Copies of this chain bind each other. A is one copy, B any other.
Amino acid sequence: MMVDTARRSGDGPRQAEAIFTAVLELLAEHGYDGLTVEGVAARSGVHKTTIYRWWADKDALLGAALLNSALLELPVPDTGSLRGDLLALTRHVLRLLTTEPSASVVTAALAAAGRPVLAGLAHKFFADRFDRELVLFERAVARGELPADTDAKLVVDLLAGAVWTRVLLRQERPPADFAAQAVDLVLAALSNRKVHPNTRNVPA
């Protein structure tokens, strides 16, 4: 009798889920350094050799676990207004970085971004997620809330980046209205960009 035939195609060991769970738990508990393949093997009940059979090294394993994880999902909000959407997005990022267990994972993943192997992953991971948010802007344009030539990517980077910077670099817990302030500041710019395009005649 065959069980679980689908999940058998060279895409990972039979216990992949248990392994990923162990990876993320250890990552959250002990940080990147505390995440050891031997520890993952012990906690997941899978032999170390088996892990190495499927992933080249610790970073590859971490990459797979992160990609597989729902922890860092970024939903695409649809509140009906650009402001609502951006607020939801910014707040979600803020929540990711400030509440457990995602905060630990993100912090550790940030550490991983400095590593060659995971750099590509970070790109794929974060950029993909942010790119998926670009629909927000398309909808806003459709709604007439925005001119079509708005640089949506820049806006996302400003907002997400402000959160990253405040939480991870400054290591501060931002005020409750941080997201709202950031969003409103950016929106103020967008709504009046064409009105006062005072970016002229200033030499770079």
Is the pair B196, A188 in contact by a Cβ cutoff of 8 Å?
Answer: yes
Find chain B residues with CB under 8 A from A195 CB: 192, 196
A122 part of interface (Cβ distance < 8 Å)? yes
Find chain B residues with CB under 8 A from A108 CB: 114
In the complex, the count of this chain's copies comes to: 4
Residues facing B in A135-166 (CB within 8 A) are: 151, 154-166
Is the pair A188, B198 in contact by a Cβ cutoff of 8 Å?
Answer: yes
Contacts A107-B114, A184-B199 known; 7 new A-B pairs at CB < 8 A: A79-B202, A123-B171, A154-B162, A154-B181, A157-B165, A188-B190, A188-B196
Task: Tell me, in angstroms, the Cα distance from A172 to B203 when the chains sit together.
Answer: 25
Is the pair A113, B197 in contact by a Cβ cutoff of 8 Å?
Answer: no
Find chain B residues with CB under 8 A from A122 CB: 168-169, 171
* Interface residues of A, Cβ cutoff 8 Å to B: 31-33, 79, 81, 83-84, 87, 107-116, 119-120, 122-123, 126-127, 130, 151, 154-166, 168-172, 177-178, 180-182, 184-193, 195-200, 202-204
Query: Which of B81, B130, B162, B203 is close to A158, meaning CB atoms less than 8 Å apart?
Result: B162
Contacts A/B (CB < 8 Å), 9 sampled: A33-B115, A107-B114, A110-B110, A113-B169, A154-B182, A161-B165, A177-B204, A188-B197, A192-B192
Task: Tell me, in angstroms, the Cα distance from A111 to B123 when the chains sit together.
Answer: 15
